[in-house]
Amino acid sequence: MTRADVVRALNEEYARLREENIRRREARVDEVIAADPALEPLVHSGAALFQRQARMLLAHPEQAEALARQTRQEAAANDRALRARLKALGYPEDYLDPIYRCPVCRDKGYVGDPVREDCACFRQRLAQRLYDEAYMGTGSAQTFATYDESIFPDDEKVDGVRTQRQRSLAVRDLCLEYARSCPASIRPGLLLMGNTGLGKTFLLNCVQNLLIERGFAPVKVTGYRLFEAMRGAHFGEAEKEAEFRQMIGCDILLIDDLGTEPLMQNITREYLFTLLNERQTQQKHTVLATNLNHTDLMNRYGERVLSRLMDSMSVQTLELKGRDLRLFGRRK
Ligand SMILES: [Zn+2]
């Protein structure tokens, strides 16, 4: 895929997401009205108010300002009444607010009018896609056999003892050992940490490919895909719920890029904890890769999730250190 293809695909993805947002909100509207039919006029009051304003404006253009003010006040009053009623029914107050993943661009992917600029969320996704396109397209070729330590700088010590190459090799050996001995690995969990561009995804693919070679069927997802499944499960989407259950129940789960997914209230932390806890209780194998350090993980997910992520009894934590290979420019 060329850059233009990647941009087009990403734009289509945003368009689908917006449709999905609207569909989900409409489903909520139907649900709430079914629970309390008296709410229907209140839910649709916005449109009625503005239709009335438009009519009156035509008849009394000199009162434009007063009309607009009156409409705003009535809309605010309706909104307050709606929120109070939702709360009384046991729903969150903002249950019928517009739904979107990115509060900045509201999932349009750009900001600014009339001069459009890509939203930060779009830029971040695009960079990731282009990187994946360049380096990850060959995920199946990323094996311990093709692992090339010569791409790592070998000049200065990165942890006081070893150079980046030496440290990377040590981490590789432990990953190899983990994948070789699975399901008898000493600890069923493996957490790969380190900044971007140190080769975490490559190692994750090596582990995955060796496991496949050995006859296992590991499930690999990104943090974002996991989040989508968690969010879908939360909102009762059957397909996503099934996907999330599979992630909980599969024998070996690999999660790449944990920490790049959205942090959504009542979902991200809660469902991630459920997933990790269930898998740990059942002694299932889980391999995670994250750019976040200990403090970031703590701040983002809280103590309960962290205790599962870094539980030294059942998780081996490996940290890569050094210079970003993408900036270092030696990665082929
Ligand atoms: Zn955005």
- The rounded Å distance from CA 84 to ligand 1 centre is 30
Return the structure tokens found at 141.
């070729």
Q: Give the pLDDT confidence of 141-168 residue by residue, as tens digits.
A: 788 988 888 889 999 999 999 999 999 9
Is the pLDDT at 44 greater than 70, yes or no?
Answer: yes
- The rounded Å distance from CA 105 to ligand 1 centre is 4
Alpha helices in the chain (DSSP H): 3-35, 40-43, 45-59, 64-88, 120-131, 164-181, 200-213, 223-234, 238-249, 268-281, 294-309, 325-328
* Cα-based angle 194, 199, 203 (whole degrees, multiple of 5): 105
- The rounded Å distance from CA 239 to ligand 1 centre is 26
Mean pLDDT in the chain? 89
Is the pLDDT at 330 greater than 50, yes or no?
Answer: no
* Separation in Å, CA 11 to CA 51, 58, 116: 33, 39, 14
Is the pLDDT at 138 greater than 70, yes or no?
Answer: no
Looking at residue 96, what is its pLDDT? 93
* Separation in Å, CA 52 to CA 47, 60, 66, 71, 319: 9, 12, 14, 9, 63
Coil, helix or strand for 107? coil
pTM for the whole structure: 0.60
Q: Give the pLDDT confidence of 169-201 residue by residue, as tens digits.
A: 999 999 999 999 999 888 999 999 999 889 999
- Note whether 118 and 112 are within 8 A (CB): no
Separation CA 164–CA 153 (nearest Å): 6
- The rounded Å distance from CA 137 to ligand 1 centre is 26
Return the structure tokens found at 310.
């870094």
How far is Cα of residue 62 from the mean position of the Cα atoms in its chain?
Answer: 51
- The rounded Å distance from CA 17 to ligand 1 centre is 12
Return the structure tokens found at 137.
């397209």
Separation CA 217–CA 211 (nearest Å): 7
- The rounded Å distance from CA 19 to ligand 1 centre is 16
- The rounded Å distance from CA 112 to ligand 1 centre is 11
Q: Give the pLDDT confidence of 207-226 residue by residue, as tens digits.
A: 988 888 887 888 889 999 99
Q: Give the pLDDT confidence of 227-271 residue by residue, as tens digits.
A: 999 999 999 988 899 889 989 999 999 999 999 898 988 999 999
Residue 156 burial (10 A CB sphere; 0-12, 13-18, 19+): exposed
Looking at residue 270, what is its pLDDT? 95
* CATH entry 3.40.50.300 includes domain 138-328: yes
- Note whether 202 and 194 are within 8 A (CB): no
Separation CA 112–CA 174 (nearest Å): 48
- The rounded Å distance from CA 5 to ligand 1 centre is 20
Q: Using 50, 70 and 90 to split pLDDT, how confident is the model at 139?
A: low
- The rounded Å distance from CA 229 to ligand 1 centre is 20
Is the pLDDT at 332 greater than 60, yes or no?
Answer: no
- The rounded Å distance from CA 100 to ligand 1 centre is 9
- The rounded Å distance from CA 172 to ligand 1 centre is 36
- The rounded Å distance from CA 114 to ligand 1 centre is 17
Coil, helix or strand for 270? helix
- The rounded Å distance from CA 111 to ligand 1 centre is 8
- The rounded Å distance from CA 103 to ligand 1 centre is 7
- The rounded Å distance from CA 226 to ligand 1 centre is 19
In the chain, where are the structural domains located? 3-124, 138-328
* Separation in Å, CA 136 to CA 128, 239, 306: 10, 27, 28
